[in-house]
Amino acid sequence: MEPENVSPFNWNDATVLVTGGAGFIGSHTCRKLLELGASVISLDNYNCIYTPDMKHDNMRRLQEDFGQRVVDLHADIADRRQFEAALAPYADRINAVVHLAALTSVFDSTDNPDEYVNVNVNATQHIADWMKDHDIRKMVFASSSSVYGYRNTAPFFETDDVSKPSSVYAATKIMCENLLHTYAGLYNMQVVALRFFNIYGPAQPPSLVIHKFAEQIFNKQPVTVYGDGSFQRDYTYVGDATNAIAQALAYDKANYDVFNIGTCEIYSVLDIIRHLEEKLGMPANVTHLPQPPGDVPLTHADTSKAQTELGYKTTKSFNDGIAEFVDWFLSYHNALQETVS
Ligand SMILES: NC(=O)c1ccc[n+]([C@@H]2O[C@H](COP(=O)([O-])OP(=O)(O)OC[C@H]3O[C@@H](n4cnc5c(N)ncnc54)[C@H](O)[C@@H]3O)[C@@H](O)[C@H]2O)c1
């Protein structure tokens, strides 16, 4: 169905709400949108899943570079009254929402399913409802490659069956996609769900595998690999993900659509370690742990739909992206050491 009454995107007049805006993809997204000329309102609860200092640094740098075009709101999307009160002074000028705030760990979701459904699903419904109430029609939602579940055939297409998730985290992302599809149809919104395939780059959280391994190699600790290290992933540079978010905000061909955002190239866990050893110039002492349930052996995107419809393309090879991550990692460590000494 062709959308009606949804104005095309005009960056210089735009104010975009970015939930999870202080986080990894969120802060890179804010920067991208600010560079395009938009103003951003970040809403984040600065949770402690990894050090909030990293998120405060992200936001401080944005405010230094872009001044009053950045609003930094501290609120919990799982507390409807709280986030609505925080957004009340700004609701009239928000044109679009990039909804990134979520709990993000496949393994942790097995232990805390209530929390994952509450923050990822219930809060997403509340945000969509708040948008409807304020006549805000455009949302880009961060979905995940995990929706494809346990697969050994590749690549993955948007038309593939996603009814068999293997983790609570993946199930919450599918629930959100379905819910947002319904809201888009009922209330004439434009929603784009981007299925991100392992995003990496500067300021990546320490819990994510590339940063975690870099930390272990750098600190001469055992590098903890689940299983035999043969699991393969499609790794996407964060700058390509934020380009896709901007392209999705400008996309107006359908009320609801979904796109894979990956690179179509895959690397095993052991490949990642080899790249990090080379860039850090340090050897890894690998130790193997049993594979926890919920994780999938393979992710591999077909991105032809995003290329055709959004104009998406990858701009950085994995080799260059890892080099950029390692440069950031080393300067981050230097800064930490200067603070301590
Ligand atoms: N990084 C990846 O590889 C990847 C892959 C697929 C999908 N995604 C999705 O992209 C989004 C962003 O992920 P990220 O890697 O930047 O993680 P992140 O943890 O750095 O960012 C999430 C941000 O959301 C905030 N947040 C969490 N719960 C909140 C709440 N209740 N209220 C307000 N703020 C809250 C956190 O404080 C954090 O700053 C998530 O939805 C994630 O599921 C990420």
> Does any domain span residue 106?
yes
Q: Which residue, 151, 37, 14, 153, is CA-closest to 95?
A: 14
- Binding site membership of 196 for ligand 1 (Cβ less than 6 Å): yes
For residue 201, give Cα distances in angstroms to 7, 215, 317.
33, 14, 12
Q: Whose CA is closest to atom 21 on ligand 1?
A: 23
Give me the pLDDT at residue 339, please.
75
- Please check whether residue 278 lies inside any domain of the structure: no
Of 169, 183, 200, 235, which residue is the catalytic one? 169
**pLDDT for res 336:** 78
Q: What are phi and psi of 4, to 5 degrees?
A: -120, 155
Bridge partner list, 285: 222
Which residue in the block uniquely carries the two structure tokens 């052991």? Answer: 270
User: One digit per residue, pLDDT tens: the chain, 341 residues?
Assistant: 333 333 457 888 899 999 999 999 999 999 999 999 999 999 999 999 999 999 999 999 999 999 999 999 999 999 999 999 999 999 999 999 999 999 999 999 999 999 999 999 999 999 999 999 999 999 999 999 999 999 878 999 999 999 999 999 999 999 999 999 999 999 999 999 999 999 999 999 999 999 999 999 999 999 999 999 999 999 999 999 999 999 999 999 999 999 999 999 999 999 999 999 999 999 999 999 999 888 889 999 999 999 999 999 999 999 999 999 999 999 998 887 777 76
3-state secondary structure of 203: coil
**Atom of ligand 1 lying closest to residue 52 CA:** 37
Q: Is 108 helix (H, G, I), strand (E, B) or coil?
A: helix
**Does 220 map to a domain?**
no
Nearest to 155, CA basis, from 237, 266, 245: 266
Domains in the chain, number: 1
Identify which of 19, 31, 40, 100 to mutate to test ligand 1's pocket (most ligand atoms within 8 A of the CB): 100
In a domain, 48, yes or no: yes
Q: What is this structure's pTM?
A: 0.96
Report pLDDT for 317.
Answer: 95
For residue 4, report the distance from its CA to the centre of ligand 1, in Å: 31
Q: Is 198 in the pocket of ligand 1 (CB under 6 A)?
A: yes
- Residue 145 belongs to a domain: yes
Q: Is residue 288 part of a domain?
A: no
Q: What is the DSSP string of 290-330?
A: PPPTT--SB--B--HHHHHHH-----S-HHHHHHHHHHHHH
Which helix (H) or strand (E) element contains residue 74? strand 70-74
Contact 46 CB / ligand 1 (< 6 Å): yes
Instruction: Give the model's pLDDT for residue 1.
Output: 35
User: Is the CB of residue 108 below 6 angstroms from any atom belonging to ligand 1?
Assistant: no
Please report, for the domain that includes residue 41, its CATH number: 3.40.50.720
- The pLDDT of residue 334 is 83
pLDDT for res 341: 67
- Calculate how far, in angstroms, residue 179's C-alpha sits from the geometric centre of ligand 1: 19
Range of the domain at 71: 11-200+236-264+300-316
Helices (H), the chain: 24-36, 52-66, 80-87, 106-111, 113-116, 123-133, 168-187, 209-218, 238-250, 269-280, 304-310, 318-340
- Does any domain span residue 289? no
Residue 195 Cα to ligand 1 midpoint, Å, equals 13
Specify if 114 maps to a domain.
yes
Cβ-contact 283, 277 below 8 angstroms:
yes
Q: Are 227 and 290 in contact (CB under 8 A)?
A: yes
169 in catalytic set? yes
Which atom of ligand 1 is closest in space to residue 169's alpha carbon? 43
Contacts of 17 by beta carbon, 8 Å cutoff, 6+ apart: 40, 41, 43, 87, 90, 94, 96, 97, 98, 136
Cβ of residue 100 lying under 6 Å from some atom of ligand 1: yes
43 Cβ neighbours under 8 A, 6+ residues apart: 17, 18, 19, 20, 21, 73, 75, 77, 83, 86, 87, 101
Residue 134 identity: H
